[in-house]
Amino acid sequence: MEVSTLPCLLLVSAALALCCAAAARPDSATSNLDAATMAAQELDRVASLPGAPSYSYAFKHYSGYVTTDERLGKALFYWFFEAMEKPDDKPLVLWLNGENFVGERWFGQAQELGPFLVKKDVPELELNPCQLAVPGLSSGCWIFVHEHVLRNRSTGRQFHGWFQRFPQHKMKEFYIAGESYAGHYIPQLANLIVDENKKASRENYINFKGILIGNAYMDGDTDLQGIVDSSWHHAIISDTLYATYLRPCNFSAEVLSRECEVALGQFNVLHDLIDIYSLYAPNCERGYPDFNTSFSPQIGPTTSRFDLLRIPMGYDPCTQTYATEYLNREDVQRALHANTTGVSYPYSLCRDSINVLWHDSDKTVLPIVKKLAQEGLRIWIFSGDTDGRIPTTSTRYTLKKLGLPIKEDWSPWFTHKQVGGWSVVYDGLTFVTVRGAGHMVPTSRPEQALQLFEHFLANRNLPSKPF
DSSP string, 263-324: HHHHHHHGGGTS-TTSTTSPPPTT-PPP-SS--S---STT--TTGGG-----SSTHHHHHHH
**Residue 228 belongs to what domain range?**
220-319
**What's the confidence (pLDDT) of residue 107?**
64
Q: Is 291 a residue whose pLDDT tops 70? A: no
Q: Is 298 a residue whose pLDDT tops 80? A: no
Q: Is 350 a residue whose pLDDT tops 80? A: no
Answer whether residue 197 is part of any domain. no
Residue 160 catalytic? Answer: no
Closest to 1 in 3D by CA, of 447, 421, 433: 447
Of 51-65, 248-262, 436-450, minimum mean pLDDT range: 51-65
Answer whether residue 248 is part of any domain. yes
CB atoms within 10 A of CB 360: 6
Residue 180 catalytic? Answer: yes
Answer whether residue 34 is part of any domain. no
> In the chain, what percentage of residues exceed pLDDT 90?
36
257 contacts 248 by C-beta, under 8 angstroms? yes
Answer whether residue 5 is part of any domain. no
**What's the confidence (pLDDT) of residue 35?**
94
What confidence category does residue 386 fall into, taking pLDDT thresholds of 50, 70 and 90? Answer: very high
**What's the confidence (pLDDT) of residue 202?**
87
Report the distance separating Cα 122 and Cα 370, nearest Å: 46
81 contacts 23 by C-beta, under 8 angstroms? no
436 contacts 449 by C-beta, under 8 angstroms? no
281 contacts 438 by C-beta, under 8 angstroms? yes
Residue 439 catalytic? Answer: yes
Which of the pair, 139 or 201, is modelled with greater confidence?
A: 201
CB atoms within 10 A of CB 367: 12
For 317, half-sphere exposure in the C-beta direction (CA atoms, 13 angstrom radius) is 22
Q: Is 67 a residue whose pLDDT tops 80? A: yes
Answer whether residue 236 is part of any domain. yes
Answer whether residue 113 is part of any domain. no
406: three-class secondary structure by DSSP: strand
CB atoms within 10 A of CB 138: 18
Closest to 279 in 3D by CA, of 330, 233, 210: 233
Q: Is 219 a residue whose pLDDT tops 50? A: yes
Q: Is 281 a residue whose pLDDT tops 60? A: yes
**What's the confidence (pLDDT) of residue 342?**
86
Q: Average pLDDT of the chain?
A: 78
Answer whether residue 280 is part of any domain. yes
Which entry of 387, 423, 444, 455 is annotated as an active-site residue?
387
What confidence category does residue 353 fall into, taking pLDDT thresholds of 50, 70 and 90? Answer: low
**What's the confidence (pLDDT) of residue 323?**
78
Please list, in sequence order, all residues whose beta carbon lies within 8 angstroms of the beta carbon of residue 201, skipping any fewer than 6 positions away.
Answer: none
Report the distance separating Cα 245 and Cα 331, nearest Å: 51
**What's the confidence (pLDDT) of residue 347?**
76
Tell me how far CA of residue 466 lies from CA of 17, 298, 431, 435, 453, in angstroms. 37, 48, 20, 15, 19
Q: Is 45 a residue whose pLDDT tops 90? A: yes
**What's the confidence (pLDDT) of residue 131?**
55
Max Cα-Cα span within the chain: 69
Q: Is residue 325 packed enough to be buried (19+ CB in 10 Å), middle (13-18) or exposed (0-12)?
A: middle
Report the distance separating Cα 292 and Cα 229, nearest Å: 31
Mean pLDDT across the stretch 27-48?
A: 85
Q: Is residue 143 packed enough to be buried (19+ CB in 10 Å), middle (13-18) or exposed (0-12)?
A: buried
Q: Is 320 a residue whose pLDDT tops 60? A: yes
Q: Read off the pTM.
A: 0.84
Answer whether residue 234 is part of any domain. yes
What confidence category does residue 143 fall into, taking pLDDT thresholds of 50, 70 and 90? Answer: low
Which entry of 180, 231, 278, 444 is annotated as an active-site residue?
180
Report the distance separating Cα 270 and Cα 87, nearest Å: 48
**What's the confidence (pLDDT) of residue 83?**
67
Q: Specify the number of domains making up the chain.
A: 1
Which entry of 61, 184, 439, 455 is annotated as an active-site residue?
439
Bridge partners, 67 (sequence order): 75
Number of helices and strands (H, E) in the chain?
15, 13
Closest to 277 in 3D by CA, of 441, 104, 451: 441
> In the chain, what percentage of residues exceed pLDDT 70?
72
